[in-house]
Amino acid sequence: MKKRIVTYLRGVLTIALAAAVLTGCGAANSGSAQTASAVVDSAAEDSAPADSQDSAADASSEDGITIGGLWGLTGFIADYEIPGSEGFELALEEINAAGGIDGKQVNYVSYDAQSDVSQATSLTTKLVEVDGANVIVGLGDPNAAIAAGTVAQDHGVPSLATTSTLPYTQDRVGDTAFLVPYGDNIQAAAVAEYAYNELGAKTAYVVTDTTDEYTLSLSKFFQSHFIALGGEVFGESTYDDNGYTDFSASIQKVKALPESPDVLFFASFTDQGPTIIKQYRDAGLDQPILSGDGLDSTEIAEIAGEAANNVYFSTHVDYTESGDVSKFYEAYNKKYGKEPLNAFAALGYDAAYLIKYAVENYANGDYSSESIRDAIAKVTDFKGLTGTIDYSSGNVPNKTVFICRFNDGKKENLTSLVPEISADENN
């Protein structure tokens, strides 16, 4: 009998703990703003799933557009998607406070895709079918963006990827998939040009994370452009695990080269950033390290400290610029109480204003998905924080690339450039 009571007590305690976790967080965060009135709408629609398709469609045509947010807020892509979603929600709040799009409030429903492809596809279906989203933003890493984008494509709904920089998104998904950032071909070429022209590098060694489409194409485009410029790539090491922590094999390969390369190029994500940088520096390899926007995170400089000096990477925005960028920077700081971790916050912010710009200028009051897709495709001169977006020559914009470096634990903007890429490099 006593044992039973203990068992039940344990159960009750566990439930109480779970409840405390849920409600406790609730009390702390209840001020966290939810944009727009959409939440109420979506809740109402959830309770009537059978006829939601019709009601969702009706609601969206009357009340202005419905934007579906699909963000990887947990999992490996969260470092990029949390800032992105925060930037997007900030912009949406501003837009709605200023009267919305075409004078109508914007509905916004968003879900956490957990960096998981099956969640991404089914939640995209949910956004489109249940919540009646006319356009989808976010989408996660390239693999998830392709899967979710394909679902959106099937429903004719445009998708705006803010994190994925896959240059051939349109070929893989279709004409409804747009990128807000530039493609990997552009950023890799810009880094190669900077290294070749500014750092005077003639030889390079490449380390590639083979687990993701992003790092693979970044590495490929860097090598092809560096060689096209006249440089030489000594070799490439690969690793194929997100949890990889021991880079000694590739370090030995670099050390065994008859001539030490002028620069090292790491195609990797934030997770490995500090580890790989530290290990290379500890091994006495102190030439400049180059990377793409995957290493764009102030945390890397903080964790790696001095080892991160002389690390150069491409990014999408220069937060030290005055004007709109500094306004955004302050608004972000005010709303979230922190600095944007990386450029993806600005990309999310741009995505919201891009939708506003496209719909107000080209949609002529028609808020169907087809009309919004056509409107976005017509954008040729949208000036956002991250540069000018022009979709006239394809769904991946050709934007300015900003080159940064880490210096004493801080991110330092160096220059911006638009690389010249020959057509055959794009495949």
Partner 1 sequence: MEKIKDKAIFKFITVVVIPLLILIVIETKMNDYYKTVVILLFINVILAAATNFTNGITGIFSLGTASFMAIGAYVGSLLTLPPDMKCSRIQGIPAFIAEIKLPFFAALLISGLFAAVFAGIIGIPILRAKGHYLAVITLGTVIVVKSLLDNLTSITNGSRGISGMEGYSTLPVTVLVTVLSLYVMYRIKTSSLGRGMIALKNDEDAAESLGISRFRVRLFSFMISAFFAGIGGCLWAHLQRSIAPSMFYLTETFMILEMSVLGGMESLSGAIPGAAIITFFPYLLSDFSTGGEIFGIKVPKINGITNIVMSVLFILVMIFRKGGIFRENDYIFDAMFSPDTYSGLFKKEHDDVLKKDV
Footprint on this chain of partner 1 (rule: CB under 8 A): 7, 10-11, 14-15, 17-18, 21-22, 25-26, 28-30, 32, 34, 39-40, 42-43, 46, 49-50, 52-53, 69, 73-74, 78, 82, 110-112, 114, 116-119, 121-123, 125-126, 128-130, 143, 146-147, 150-151, 172, 210-213, 216, 240, 242
Kindly provide the b/e burial profile for residues 124-138, where b requires at least 16 CB atoms within 10 angstroms of the residue's own CB. Answer: bebbbebbbbbbbbb
Closest CA to 276 of 313, 226, 239, 302: 239
- Sequence-ordered alpha helix ranges (H) in 167-272: 169-172, 184-193, 213-229, 248-256
CB of 194 to partner 1, least distance (A): 27
Cβ–Cβ < 8 Å for 340, 87: yes
Q: Where are the beta strands (DSSP E) in 105-169?
A: 107-112, 135-138, 159-161
Please give the distance of CA 142 from its chain centroid, rounded to a whole number: 9
Cα–chain center distance at 231: 30
Query: What are 141's strand-pairing partners?
Result: none
Residues 220/192, Cβ–Cβ less than 8 Å: no
Please name the amino acid found at residue 353: Y
Provide the CA 359 distance to its chain's centre, in angstroms: 23
Rounded CA gap, 273 and 406, in Å?
12
Three-class DSSP category at 206: strand
User: What's the full length of the chain, in residues?
Assistant: 427
Cβ of residue 216: shortest distance to partner 1, in angstroms? 6
**Residue that is written with structure tokens 């490996």 in the block:** 76
CA distances from 279 to 76, 282, 294, 324 (A): 22, 5, 18, 39
CA distance readout (Å), 258 to 199, 234, 253, 397, 409? 21, 10, 10, 41, 33
> What is 40-62 written as a DSSP string?
HHHHHHHH--TTHHHHHHHHHHH
